[in-house]
């Protein structure tokens, strides 16, 4: 408990925030890497997820590939890419993008899947083309789950971005790694608290985003469908 108090003290000391080795810069790096990695993962994962969900093809392949994909060890990717491209941001970005792709793909598929069949039929019956049905009906209806996937990915990315410290690329991880060596447990606790705080803040931002992006009609019936459709057949979609 004392260590936590010391950690908070370290965090709230103004001097620790400034300079090249300061907390402010580390937080900025942490968020920047996380943001870039999550965006890149979205650019890869959303089209794949939408395509699988819309066409219904490749579902089995996707489930298995993402399963194996998750097994890729982050530290392994970081060290390997570091050997290849040292002193660039690539080791961290590559590892984080790999981490963020599976939850977005799976949740996007589940989101499109969760659109009731009669709603889809209605869209077709009104003469919408496949493309129109996807953007005007399936995506808005699947939005809660699609966002849940991105949120889950962002969570994991922020919690994992500390590995950058392992290869000296900044982020809050730097404090944690160097503190292990110097046994400065107050710094370690403080930096960890900061990481948790970042995760929670981003979580809160996603809650706001959810309010803004999910249409009112969908929101009203979300909770139940969330439970029913989201979990049973592909319970695996709810990544940590």
Q: Which residues bind other proteins (CB under 8 A)?
A: 3, 67-68, 70-77, 79-80, 82-83, 155, 158-159, 162-163, 166-167, 173, 176-177, 180, 185, 188-189, 191-192, 195-196, 199-200, 203, 227-228, 230-236, 238-240
By C-alpha distance, which of 60, 42, 146, 51 is closest to 100? 42
**Backbone φ and ψ of 181, nearest 5°:** -65, -45
Burial class (CB in 10 A: 0-12, 13-18, 19+), 204: exposed
Give residues with Cβ within 8 angstroms of 57, minimum separation 6. Answer: 51
The nearest distance, CB 190 to other proteins, in angstroms, is 10
Nearer to other proteins, 42 or 188 (CB): 188
Task: In angstroms, give the least distance from the CB of 126 to other proteins.
Answer: 28
Closest approach of Cβ 5 to other proteins, in Å?
A: 14
Nearer to other proteins, 147 or 191 (CB): 191
Q: How far is the CB of 71 from other proteins (least distance, A)?
A: 3
**8 Å CB contact between 78 and 166:** yes
The full length of the chain comes to 240
Q: Select 51 or 82, whichever has its Cβ closest to other proteins.
A: 82
Query: What sign has the CA pseudo-torsion 30, 35, 40, 45?
Result: positive
The nearer residue to other proteins, 19 or 233, going by C-beta atoms, is: 233
């Amino acid at each position: 408990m004392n260590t936590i108090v010391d950690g908070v003290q370290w965090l709230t000391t103004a001097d620790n925030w400034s300079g090249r080795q300061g907390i402010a810069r580390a937080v900025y790096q942490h968020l920047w890497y996380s943001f870039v990695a999550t965006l890149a993962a979205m650019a890869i994962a959303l089209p794949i997820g939408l395509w699988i969900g819309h066409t219904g093809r490749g579902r089995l392949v996707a489930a298995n590939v993402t399963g194996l994909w998750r097994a890729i060890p982050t530290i392994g990717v970081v060290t390997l890419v570091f050997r290849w491209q040292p002193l660039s941001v690539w080791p961290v970005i590559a590892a984080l993008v790999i981490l963020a792709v599976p939850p977005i793909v799976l949740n996007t598929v589940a989101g499109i899947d969760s659109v009731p069949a009669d709603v889809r039929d209605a869209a077709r019956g009104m003469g919408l083309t496949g493309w129109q049905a996807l953007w005007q009906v399936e995506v808005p209806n699947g939005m809660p789950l699609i966002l849940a996937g991105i949120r889950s990915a962002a969570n994991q990315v922020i919690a994992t971005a500390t590995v950058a410290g392992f290869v000296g690329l900044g982020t809050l991880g730097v404090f944690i790694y160097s503190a292990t060596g110097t046994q400065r447990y107050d710094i370690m606790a403080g930096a960890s608290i900061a990481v948790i705080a970042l995760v929670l803040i981003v979580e809160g931002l996603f809650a706001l985003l959810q309010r803004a992006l999910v249409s009112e009609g969908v929101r009203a019936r979300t909770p139940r469908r969330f439970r029913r459709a989201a979990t049973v057949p592909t319970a695996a979609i709810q990544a940590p």
